[in-house]
Amino acid sequence: MAIALCGAFDYVAVVPDGRGSDDFESRAIVRESTNRANVDISESWLVGISPHVRISNVGQSDDKSLRPPWNLRKRSLITLVASTRDQATVAQAAFYTDKAFTDCMTAGDQIHLSRTGCGGLGYSVIRDGRLVAAVGAITAVPLGSGVRISIPRDLISSAAAVFRKRDPDFEFTHMPLEVEVAGARSILSEGVRFMGDYRVIVRHGFLEGEPGTDESVSIFLDRICTHAAGEFSAMLLDDPDALSMSW
């Protein structure tokens, strides 16, 4: 069963002026484009309609299950704190990302943060209308001009029809992604692709199920991050327990 609106979120915040340290705080609002048919932004969201966003440097993980080199990566904690308990399901929610993915943020950048109906987490950083970086369930967040990532359901449907000539019950369980950068297109189920100024890392596409598992992807300007930072961020957000919540 999909997560109800009160368990999801879709916010945008702006990196404040004078950001000069690892940590900063901003105020988020519900993204305007979320106010579409059958969605009332005045209804309850996970941490309300205007939470505080805190980004903090928390260093290396003490998770014993993480093996080198992942246990050596520095992390940031992104925390959403409800400004009021009205229209908020929880007091706060938080998740980790690689520190390099927050270090790249500068004053004036837009930070888009989403939790989908499947429980997937995604966020993107947009600067002057252009994508800087995005990670996680990135089909749920804006990607700026010139970048588009989607599930090519028309192609998947056509391909499934071919297989059903031999097996009437055939279904794709792993949905590839169509990545478009500056007019160039790629279809990726997994792996790494360099497209224009961007590095695209696909750990997996959308996985069918009830309610399904969102894609695990990282895309970023190749000059601002390393491959390890992108992959680690995607790994962290893809963990079923990635989002911690407190009441």
- At residue 76 the predicted structure's pLDDT band, cuts being 50, 70 and 90, is very high
196-241 pLDDT tens trace: 999 999 999 999 988 899 999 999 999 998 999 999 999 999 999 9
Whether residue 216 contacts residue 136, with contact meaning beta carbons closer than 8 Å, is answered with yes
| pLDDT value at 45 more than 60 | yes
Q: CA–CA distance from 199 to each of 33, 111, 169, 203, 217 (Å)?
A: 27, 19, 36, 13, 11
| pLDDT value at 112 more than 70 | yes
Residue with the two structure tokens 């929610």: 93
Q: What are the extents of the domains in the chain?
A: 5-246
Residue with the two structure tokens 């109800």: 4
List phi, psi (to 5°) of 178.
-100, 120
Q: Which two tokens stand for residue 18?
A: 């004078």
Whether residue 111 contacts residue 26, with contact meaning beta carbons closer than 8 Å, is answered with yes
* Residues 6+ positions from 207 with CB-CB distance below 8 Å: 173, 174, 175, 213
| pLDDT value at 75 more than 60 | yes
- At residue 40 the predicted structure's pLDDT band, cuts being 50, 70 and 90, is low
The mean pLDDT value of the chain amounts to 90
pTM exceeds cut of 0.85 = yes
Cis peptide before 69 (omega within 30 of 0): yes
Lowest-confidence segment of 32-46, 78-92, 191-205 by average pLDDT: 32-46
| pLDDT value at 63 more than 80 | no
Q: Which two tokens stand for residue 148?
A: 């588009």
Whether residue 124 contacts residue 130, with contact meaning beta carbons closer than 8 Å, is answered with no
- At residue 5 the predicted structure's pLDDT band, cuts being 50, 70 and 90, is confident
7-24 pLDDT tens trace: 899 999 999 987 766 789
* Residues 6+ positions from 179 with CB-CB distance below 8 Å: 148, 149, 185, 186, 187, 188, 193, 195, 200, 202, 219
What percentage of the chain has pLDDT greater than the value 70? 94
